[in-house]
Structure 1
């Protein structure tokens, strides 16, 4: 029983607890101000020292003290950040300056030297050279294990070798024990040699030194440890010392003071329990829960009490709880009410939202936060460990010109400067890579480059035909020998060559072409990457601003880490730059919104708001499962005195409980994450189970949002306007085109008009043309063109008609259009079989009627519906037999159409070629009877056949030509009708592949067919 209401009064408790759901910092500041009469005595706390978990808490407490002093100027106490268990907060610095402690090694030095020790271990044990990336990955795991050991007061590695022998484990674990000598023996020896300490080890030494200093000269001013669970040895050391001081206080966050002795022992045995860390701390401090007083003037009412009891029960591990009915009876009895009333009181102000997916979750949260601003002065805070969700909500709020930056910052790699330098690091490894080149030169920080768009369109798209920038120059010179895109001009070549030559000079000046180096030191590579970044960026980019400064620190970190590893492959160093950029975060120092906040769980400690939104509540997001231990079996950890990874689950549960007990709380989770079904957090499941056990079918209504359902509103906004258009169909049905169109079509385009009219309309009416992707695979069209070109060259006079000659021509033409050399090598045997088959086929051809023609252009003109129309075609090969008849040969690299497909009228290329030949439309080929329409499939399984005689298709090409002509004229006349619509692939089963306009037609939206086939035409 506290005899004096003043927290510093005679007989007052030294240990206090502020209940969950309270505004911790406000309550702390208010009572401190009252205890020392701060408003009338502005320097009353000037000599006080207050420890809080992190720097954000320190800033907020300073502001809260100012408000508690009636907004009068005060001399602020010394508010220090202890450092969260999961954070990278530095240890208290003021007391370190007064002690003779070794300096802490930097994180870069530690990581780099651990990686070097990993490499040395493998080199000495097996003679194997471990790549730097693998060594760094192992070093990260070792660093994590070192931290866990320093956070475990009883950790003792000395028994590890004997433990492995006793356990009679597999050889794998024996090897792991030897490997761990890196941190049990080699690392301590390194620290001793350097006269340094591990960061967390130094934190504990600092805390112990501070405690000893307090004992030697006890401070008479208040010393307060506030908001810490005592989860770290350094924190407990300060707590023990503070309890011995005249005005020393420990203020716990959300301690359950009402647990029985039996419950306390049970909690101590359940490391995942939200109260486990607190109970363990009390045990170490030799305190019972009853020894801890409730903070003066804490708000107490049935609703708050019920919420705290239910949340605490929902977060307890499942195997630590009794039957649900017994649990509810006990909870209701503790509140002196019935089960239903208890549940209604507990759920008052708490709502639960299930969003269908992550985008809907973010949209719903943004709407809740936007609605908060409808009440003047009302505050809201989103708390989530999902950084992606936090960024998405922040972006959505900008729709209403509301800027709420996530307090945790954003990864450096997502900033303008970080992404630019990361891309430059990759580009330096492969300067000729078109994707990296365009990513860098079109970046927002890059200096404007005249002619860049033309370089990309005409010379970088499609398969890569070069390795270096110098080879790219040669590729540009030869681009007109490969079928270029429309509007291609020779001026484009001149401008593009000048542009690439400038890039070469940039690389030469910065010495940044790392592709020429087998190995490079970190310092040398970082210098060259920085020089390249400066050379292609706008001055003073990319080092300006907060993100530029953070990027500079990033490069310094990588330089220091790699300095311990020695030379490494340039690609490994570029990967290291980008991997570290994804881990380091930066805050832009933007002003916080006065009413809205976005916090991570660490930033949210001791914080609150009028409305709290807890989101990302899916399993393995919140809470997140502990990472698997790569080196130790789990049961070894306890025997070595190491903490259990499940302790983090308990701390996460405690953080959640503190926030979930606020008066107005919304819990949000997604039914799907990463486009896959997701499971709600175990905390959500247990809370729902308790609610349903108490209220039955009414539980859902009590957990539903009270003001508006944001998910329903998101869906309504998404479908806004659709309901007013009941006949709306996303399928395009254009009909507009110039009078008399089409005026000219090739035989292949006639087939396209039948199979995919929309594609032809886009191509010829809208004037749109498809372009290849950067670094694209060699497409069927250029591959077919190359094969056809090889077959054409093979027939030239003077060339030997041998297998070796045709193979050489195929290789030459395929490599010229972009076939990778390794792809040719992999399929060379297949090509050889095809060539051998072709030579046999060729030897059997009857060309006695005259010299064969190749690549013969032809046309015939018509008058259709009062407008001229021209049919054109290019015959791959025309043979004349001894009797003067013609044989038209068409080469395909895929599957040629058979009689059935031609008989349907959808494959009229060959019959229309016969029509042109019979009318004398081919250049240099007099009109004659067409005897055969012959297909040759030049592919892995070659084939050759002539059309006719099956599936109602006439045997004679003459009759096929007559039918094709009648169909052609009907088709052109029909599509010249004003009412004709150009549909997207109306006969989809006859469309072999996407003609390039499916995305424009939004086929995936209204047709659902997204799979592409393969092209078959040469």
Structure 2
């Protein structure tokens, strides 16, 4: 490469590309132009260019192709140097350096975990749980990585520091614990013939520097885009500067900072320029000797923005008199502060959203707007991964597939979610939520009957523990729920499916529900075998997420080899933690004009419109984590870098992006439903703008034209209020089939009066309420179980004792799903209830044996169309005089006579009506002499209907009144103009019938979401 522009001439080999410039495009453009790449495709073939990360390497290769006239070129050797904060391992030519293979992360972490366990065994005589030891080892690993980045750390001085300081007791213990780093870890490395993996990059860089010194490359060698945050990077920078054609190109150095400013920057590790000036000191380069990269923008507008941002990010102690500073800055550019500020803020917008949801909508709208401008590009940059995924989801509504470049957590991918589910499934194979999730997983094979099993047999209270118990529950579900709507075929298919699942667990030996601590590798093997067994092989291990899932399982298995045997649940937690910490690319091609980047991915890149979102304190910048074992005061004495260094790097990223020509900054007033504070950078920028422009600063930072925030708020309002003005919000449906309703039970007649909308939704819309999984035993199934126990108690040959009735109650309630602990706690109550029931039963004067659980119906015509009234009587007794007594058992409080007199509770009068017409199976028509409620509860009692001050009437009189009311009610609801209202008598609705949310009661009635009235 010819040095036409003198890039490699002069005393200094250090350049900088100003903030806001498209770094990689500027770098490639100048290199291509000066090398004559358009004329000679091989002009840069021998060059070596180091960039911070793999994404930068890919982008640089692309822009070099563009700079070469979009003709085939022989590209240079583009290598990655490694980011201080990147998850990827920096290469620094480790493979070319002759070093042995690196220690795997699993082996490194496993060895540290082993040393942690050994420390506690020796110091305290106890072995910590594997999960606790692993967590401590991870903290140690983070600390050792930080120490390696600081390079010159003297751990041997730690005991002396501890002895000279007055520390709290827990810090004294931590200092002892850190002997693992200073003593145990070096001993382990020596015993196992390993080199320190934390120092490997530094060793590799020194080897490369030595080779360059011995045999200097004659082709160009560039270290471009690195801030010099790592020791390995600085070693290579020094070595490159000594080469015949070696250059260092720094990103965004403030070449206008004077001595006073540099002094302040040197004392503030959180300043965006601190790391760059520190690098220059280490390289022995004076800031004044750094040259600006040829061809970069030095226009007044761009320079004003850079100086404004640099000043806004200056330490708080140096910004006491911003007005004077503004005068100085504007004077240096030959203008006044107002003009300077307006020029600097031209193209920069700050938007304050009410919450993170609106912030995401606003960001998505800004990205979408770019698609209406041909040739323009836009990039959202945010530290908040959740916000990035939310924006990506919003864009998909408009057909724009823009996945976050940082990827998604492995646990949220298809393959990762299956592994996570199976890791939990082996702990409890019959757990309904996980079982259903596995059967419906995209990778699961087509399990016939999965929908039926989910809908009819896995919901409600859980009355099984194992898969065998679940199969038995499926077989007996009709007995537990006589009104269940599933068919015999659906029941048979569900039972067969449970058996298939049981076979899968037996073949893979994956049922670990009763296993104690065992080797982690064995657990991993069984989880993997189960995942493969239930999936369409080889889908779990294919694709990006499959490969990542495979690597994760190999990692945790290798790690487990260093750990003591662990309970299966601890291993499941380990898998979940690993899956949450690994990110996977979506596998979707990048959008040609839109991007969603994290700060790491955004380094050295640019776009026509940069959107910086999530600019809230502790989000961007993130708060440095607290030291787990090392007092912050010891870090400097030991030579470990300050955690605020990372804030400085983050500030540098922000400054680079904020200096782009068109920038929108977004922050939210609330995050996670809590008040949030704008980032310190945004706050300082606003304050600086106000110092220059006063009240006009708000307008200067506001969007030109229509505000995207107003668009987002309008979209949100439209999404939550889709009804036109004047349209009644309260639902009043009237459509129904001809002659409907055709059939109702006596209890549903009461519901029709109290909540007509529920009957309409249930029978006209055919919407059934589905119980949640693992629910507490509800009143209906509890009542059914108690009724079944009372029915069994009346069987011939059953001992009529309290003990026998209690036993029947316990067994039926247990079969219905009542937990054993609840039954044990309520046993005394059940005994009290049973004693009372035996006394009540003994006092009955019955002619013959009473009939229990008797079905009844009455068919007749109303308004020219047939109607069937049905009922299930709990107990019917024939009296010596031939009359009947109808008894209804309640496990809660029965309706009062006042409600019956108001004709709102007609269950018992309607049962008397059916009995009087001979509608009960096997019971001839007869006069009803008694209607009685028996409250079978903690304080049991019996009450005869119609013998109170509120209601004085015979059963036959009540039946006649109920018949007249029934005829009016059904006839009225068969009228075309009759509306089925949602709980018009809300005071009489004891609980939500299941359709309040469908009726949107919370919007127009002010009810709670879960209830329609009194509980």
TM bucket by the smaller chain?
A: over 0.9
Task: Tell me whether 685-694 or 246-255 shows the greater mean CA deviation.
Answer: 685-694
Q: CA deviation at 1:900?
A: 4.2
1:801 lines up with 2:800 in the alignment: yes
Q: CA deviation at 1:226?
A: 1.6
For residue 683 of structure 1, the aligned residue among 681, 684, 695 is 681
Q: 1:70 to 1:924 in 2, by over 3 A?
A: closer
Q: Secondary structure at the match of 1:1001?
A: coil
Q: Tell me which residue corresponds to 1:29.
A: 28
Q: Tell me which residue corresponds to 2:302.
A: 304
Q: 1:147 to 1:880 in 2, by over 3 A?
A: same
Q: Tell me which residue corresponds to 2:424.
A: 426
Q: Secondary structure at the match of 2:818?
A: coil
Q: CA deviation at 1:806?
A: 2.0
Q: Tell me which residue corresponds to 1:821.
A: 820
Task: Tell me whether 438-447 or 477-486 shows the greater mean CA deviation.
Answer: 477-486
Task: Tell me whether 919-928 or 744-753 shows the greater mean CA deviation.
Answer: 919-928
For residue 969 of structure 1, the aligned residue among 964, 967, 970 is 967
Q: CA deviation at 1:43?
A: 4.1
Q: CA deviation at 1:220?
A: 3.7
For residue 697 of structure 1, the aligned residue among 695, 698, 717 is 695
Are the counterparts in 1 of residues 478 and 484 from structure 2 also a CA contact under 8 Å?
no
Are the counterparts in 2 of residues 271 and 647 from structure 1 also a CA contact under 8 Å?
yes
Alpha-carbon distance in 1 for matches of 2:32, 2:857? 97
For 1:122-133, what aligned pairs fall within 5 Å after superposition? Answer: 122-133=120-131
Q: Write out per-residue CA displacement over residues 790-834 of structure 1, whole angstroms, 9 at most, x where no aligned residue.
A: 223234454333332222111100111222223323433443444
Q: Tell me which residue corresponds to 1:511.
A: 509
Q: CA deviation at 1:462?
A: 2.5
Q: Secondary structure at the match of 1:51?
A: strand
For residue 494 of structure 2, the aligned residue among 493, 496, 501 is 496
Q: Write out per-residue CA displacement over residues 215-252 of structure 1, whole angstroms, 9 at most, x where no aligned residue.
A: 33444433322211111122222223333333332221
Q: CA deviation at 1:81?
A: 0.9
Are the counterparts in 2 of residues 7 and 35 from structure 1 also a CA contact under 8 Å?
no
Q: 1:179 to 1:1007 in 2, by over 3 A?
A: farther
Are the counterparts in 2 of residues 82 and 92 from structure 1 also a CA contact under 8 Å?
yes
Are the counterparts in 2 of residues 258 and 289 from structure 1 also a CA contact under 8 Å?
no
Alpha-carbon distance in 2 for matches of 1:325, 1:906? 77
Alpha-carbon distance in 2 for matches of 1:817, 1:138? 45
Q: CA deviation at 1:398?
A: 3.5
Alpha-carbon distance in 1 for matches of 2:1012, 2:702? 51
1:65 lines up with 2:61 in the alignment: no
Q: Tell me which residue corresponds to 2:274.
A: 276
For residue 151 of structure 1, the aligned residue among 149, 152, 175 is 149
Q: CA deviation at 1:907?
A: 2.4
Alpha-carbon distance in 1 for matches of 2:952, 2:556? 74
Q: Tell me which residue corresponds to 1:734.
A: 733
Q: Tell me which residue corresponds to 1:55.
A: 54
Q: Secondary structure at the match of 1:424?
A: helix
TM-score, normalised relative to structure 1:
0.93
Q: Write out per-residue CA displacement over residues 585-614 of structure 1, whole angstroms, 9 at most, x where no aligned residue.
A: 222554322222221110110101111111
1:209 lines up with 2:204 in the alignment: no
For residue 267 of structure 1, the aligned residue among 265, 268, 276 is 265
Alpha-carbon distance in 2 for matches of 1:338, 1:244? 44
Are the counterparts in 1 of residues 93 and 205 from structure 2 also a CA contact under 8 Å?
no
Task: Tell me whether 294-303 or 777-786 shows the greater mean CA deviation.
Answer: 294-303
Query: Is there any run of 5+ residues in structure 2 with no aligned partner, and where?
Result: none
Q: Tell me which residue corresponds to 1:367.
A: 365
Alpha-carbon distance in 1 for matches of 2:199, 2:406? 26
Are the counterparts in 1 of residues 983 and 1012 from structure 2 also a CA contact under 8 Å?
no
Q: Tell me which residue corresponds to 1:581.
A: 579
Q: CA deviation at 1:665?
A: 0.8
Q: 1:801 to 1:175 in 2, by over 3 A?
A: farther
Q: Secondary structure at the match of 1:8?
A: coil
Q: Secondary structure at the match of 1:79?
A: strand
Are the counterparts in 2 of residues 894 and 1016 from structure 1 also a CA contact under 8 Å?
no
Q: Write out per-residue CA displacement over residues 892-939 of structure 1, whole angstroms, 9 at most, x where no aligned residue.
A: 223333344444432232343344456665556677776665434333
Q: CA deviation at 1:750?
A: 1.3
Are the counterparts in 1 of residues 520 and 557 from structure 2 also a CA contact under 8 Å?
yes
Q: CA deviation at 1:485?
A: 6.0
Q: 1:694 to 1:80 in 2, by over 3 A?
A: same
Q: Tell me which residue corresponds to 1:107.
A: 105
Q: CA deviation at 1:625?
A: 1.2
Q: 1:949 to 1:333 in 2, by over 3 A?
A: farther
Q: 1:184 to 1:871 in 2, by over 3 A?
A: same
Q: CA deviation at 1:547?
A: 2.2
Q: CA deviation at 1:762?
A: 2.1
Task: Tell me whether 872-881 or 697-706 shows the greater mean CA deviation.
Answer: 872-881
Q: 1:289 to 1:989 in 2, by over 3 A?
A: farther
Task: Tell me whether 160-169 or 375-384 shows the greater mean CA deviation.
Answer: 160-169
Are the counterparts in 1 of residues 94 and 201 from structure 2 also a CA contact under 8 Å?
no
Alpha-carbon distance in 1 for matches of 2:476, 2:431? 18
Q: Tell me which residue corresponds to 2:393.
A: 395
Q: Write out per-residue CA displacement over residues 117-176 of structure 1, whole angstroms, 9 at most, x where no aligned residue.
A: 223333333343433222222222221111111112332222323333333322211222
Alpha-carbon distance in 1 for matches of 2:619, 2:80? 27
Are the counterparts in 2 of residues 347 and 702 from structure 1 also a CA contact under 8 Å?
yes
1:321 lines up with 2:319 in the alignment: yes
For 1:883-962, what aligned pairs fall within 5 Å after superposition? Answer: 888-917=886-915, 922=920, 933-947=931-945, 952-954=950-952, 960-962=958-960
For residue 559 of structure 1, the aligned residue among 557, 560, 571 is 557
Alpha-carbon distance in 1 for matches of 2:653, 2:382? 11
Q: 1:495 to 1:39 in 2, by over 3 A?
A: closer
Are the counterparts in 2 of residues 381 and 598 from structure 1 also a CA contact under 8 Å?
yes
For residue 464 of structure 1, the aligned residue among 462, 465, 474 is 462
Q: Secondary structure at the match of 2:444?
A: coil
Q: Secondary structure at the match of 2:551?
A: helix
Are the counterparts in 1 of residues 92 and 201 from structure 2 also a CA contact under 8 Å?
no
Alpha-carbon distance in 1 for matches of 2:221, 2:943? 96
Alpha-carbon distance in 2 for matches of 1:620, 1:812? 55
Q: Tell me which residue corresponds to 1:612.
A: 610
Are the counterparts in 2 of residues 103 and 197 from structure 1 also a CA contact under 8 Å?
no
Are the counterparts in 1 of residues 266 and 278 from structure 2 also a CA contact under 8 Å?
yes
For 1:853-864, what aligned pairs fall within 5 Å after superposition? Answer: 853-860=851-858, 863-864=861-862
Are the counterparts in 1 of residues 989 and 1012 from structure 2 also a CA contact under 8 Å?
no
Task: Tell me whether 997-1006 or 463-472 shows the greater mean CA deviation.
Answer: 997-1006
Alpha-carbon distance in 2 for matches of 1:855, 1:63? 80
For residue 669 of structure 1, the aligned residue among 657, 667, 670 is 667
Q: Write out per-residue CA displacement over residues 305-362 of structure 1, whole angstroms, 9 at most, x where no aligned residue.
A: 2211222233334344214444444443444433322221111111122334334333
For residue 413 of structure 1, the aligned residue among 400, 411, 414 is 411
Q: CA deviation at 1:653?
A: 0.9
Alpha-carbon distance in 1 for matches of 2:799, 2:587? 74
Alpha-carbon distance in 2 for matches of 1:992, 1:118? 58
Q: CA deviation at 1:484?
A: 5.5
1:540 lines up with 2:543 in the alignment: no
Q: CA deviation at 1:941?
A: 4.7
1:379 lines up with 2:374 in the alignment: no
Q: Tell me which residue corresponds to 2:335.
A: 337
TM-score, normalised relative to structure 2:
0.93
For 1:189-204, what aligned pairs fall within 5 Å after superposition? Answer: 189-204=187-202
Q: CA deviation at 1:7?
A: 4.3
Alpha-carbon distance in 2 for matches of 1:251, 1:720? 50
Q: 1:166 to 1:334 in 2, by over 3 A?
A: same
For 1:773-812, what aligned pairs fall within 5 Å after superposition? Answer: 773-812=772-811
Q: Tell me which residue corresponds to 1:174.
A: 172
Task: Tell me whether 670-679 or 146-155 shows the greater mean CA deviation.
Answer: 670-679
Q: CA deviation at 1:784?
A: 1.1
Q: 1:766 to 1:65 in 2, by over 3 A?
A: closer
Alpha-carbon distance in 2 for matches of 1:228, 1:600? 17
Q: Tell me which residue corresponds to 1:985.
A: 983
